[in-house]
């Protein structure tokens, strides 16, 4: 349960898991190559399941978000993409560039930063000069919090959207001195952010704070906690129904799983990928939120779970 964090590690581990026939639930790595391998050789990799969003779902969420913003606010359809140099972020950035271009968006740049980068001003100057209306940023390294502060100090007026891990937890408002205000962030699953439409996510968030302390709760990252929590129950459910710890019988029961969890409805596809959607009654979901004063994260998309409207400065 939980398993590989980096996509590169997940792919490298698949043959090892197959060799030792270990029922394995990955809850973090995002690469679509997992499903490609499963489809190509489902029999060999049948012990592996991914109870997590994948990069394709991330791309779909942001493509829909930008189209929604355009419809609601008649934005100029221009965007600039900045990503970290790891597999899932590169895939996300390149795919969004392709898909948004097909939808009529002008992509004014795509910059890739190596791990450990601490200065993003070169991209920010280009964003200002090219007057990109939206900035899409995808990072999980701690140093990416510097970008948030640079955007704020340079008064970049673009709408900031994306996954910037240090800007996602509840404590990020204080950590950045409120520089995250207005940002549209993505929590890859409910739990780290409580969603009223999913009572289990509210309970999880509250109980996490009670057990580990409020400081730890406020530092819950954007990805992993909700999926990992649900994965334990999914595996236990499958073992109970199998009535044995035989790996092949557990796999058969995992394939039949259909329960409501912290992340919404949990079912697996033929490729053993968690089925994702936009309504928690029908599928697992992610949550796009907006940072608003006095330092709260308000779920705003998809509309099925929205607890407030997106605020956009249309005069920019």
Structure tokens at 219: 């530092």
Name the β-bridge partners of 136: 81, 161
Name the β-bridge partners of 147: none
* Average confidence score pLDDT of the chain: 94
Residue 7 has pLDDT above 90, yes or no: no
Report which DSSP code applies to 311.
P
How do residues 232-285 score in pLDDT, each as one tens digit? 999 999 999 999 999 999 999 999 999 999 999 999 999 999 999 999 999 999
Contact 184, 161 (CB under 8 A): yes
**CB atoms inside a 10 Å sphere around CB 217:** 20
Name the β-bridge partners of 63: none
How do residues 28-86 score in pLDDT, each as one tens digit? 988 889 999 999 999 999 999 999 998 899 999 999 999 999 999 888 899 999 999 99
Report which DSSP code applies to 166.
G
Tell which phi-psi region holds residue 243, choosing left (phi > 0), alpha (psi between -120 and 50) or beta: left
Name the β-bridge partners of 106: 78
Structure tokens at 95: 């795919």
**Helices 121-130 and 145-153: crossing angle, nearest 10°?**
40
* DSSP secondary structure of 83-104: EESSHHHHHHHHHHHHHHHHTT
Q: Give me the residue spans of the domains in the chain.
A: 56-189+284-305
**Closest to 185 (Cα-Cα) out of 291, 84, 81:** 291
Residue 120 has pLDDT above 60, yes or no: yes
Burial class from Cβ neighbours inside 10 Å (0-12, 13-18, 19+) for residue 276 reads buried
Name the β-bridge partners of 257: none
Report which DSSP code applies to 30.
-
Structure tokens at 141: 């390294």
Grade residue 316 by pLDDT with cuts at 50, 70 and 90: very low
Residue 297 has pLDDT above 50, yes or no: yes
Between β-strands 159-164 and 134-139, what pairing exists: parallel, antiparallel or unpaired? parallel
Residues 130 and 155: their CA atoms lie apart, in Å, by 15
Burial class from Cβ neighbours inside 10 Å (0-12, 13-18, 19+) for residue 86 reads buried
The pTM of this model reads 0.92
Contact 186, 290 (CB under 8 A): no
Q: Does domain 56-189+284-305 have CATH number 3.40.50.2300?
A: yes
Residues 222 and 303: their CA atoms lie apart, in Å, by 19
């Amino acid at each position: 349960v939980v398993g590989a964090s980096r996509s590169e590690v997940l792919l490298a581990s698949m043959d090892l898991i197959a060799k030792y026939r270990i029922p394995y639930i990955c809850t973090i790595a995002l690469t679509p190559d997992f499903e490609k391998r499963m489809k190509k050789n489902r029999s060999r990799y049948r012990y592996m399941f991914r109870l997590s969003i994948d990069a394709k779902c991330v791309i779909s969420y942001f493509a829909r978000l930008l189209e929604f913003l355009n419809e609601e606010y008649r934005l100029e359809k221009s965007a600039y993409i900045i990503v970290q140099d790891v597999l899932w972020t590169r895939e996300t950035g390149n795919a969004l560039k392709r898909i948004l271009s097909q939808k009529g968006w002008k992509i004014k740049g795509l910059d890739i930063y190596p791990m450990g980068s601490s200065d993003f001003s070169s991209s920010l100057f280009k964003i200002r000069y090219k007057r990109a209306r939206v900035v899409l940023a995808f990072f999980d390294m701690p140093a990416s919090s510097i970008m948030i502060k640079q955007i704020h100090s340079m008064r970049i007026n673009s709408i900031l959207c994306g996954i910037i891990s240090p800007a996602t937890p509840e404590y990020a408002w204080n950590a950045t001195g409120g520089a995250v205000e207005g940002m549209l962030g993505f929590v890859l699953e409910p739990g780290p952010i409580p969603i009223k439409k999913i009572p289990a996510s509210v309970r999880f968030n509250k109980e996490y704070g009670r057990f580990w302390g409020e400081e730890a709760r406020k530092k819950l990252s954007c990805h992993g906690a909700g999926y990992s929590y649900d994965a334990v129950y999914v595996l236990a459910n499958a073992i109970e129904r199998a009535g044995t710890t035989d790996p092949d019988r557990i796999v058969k029961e995992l394939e039949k799983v259909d329960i409501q969890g912290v992340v919404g409805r949990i079912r697996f596809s033929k490729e053993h990928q968690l089925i994702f959607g936009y309504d928690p009654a029908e599928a697992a979901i992610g949550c796009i939120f907006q940072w608003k004063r006095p330092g709260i994260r308000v779920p705003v998309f998809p509309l099925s779970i929205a607890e407030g409207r997106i605020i956009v400065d249309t005069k920019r």
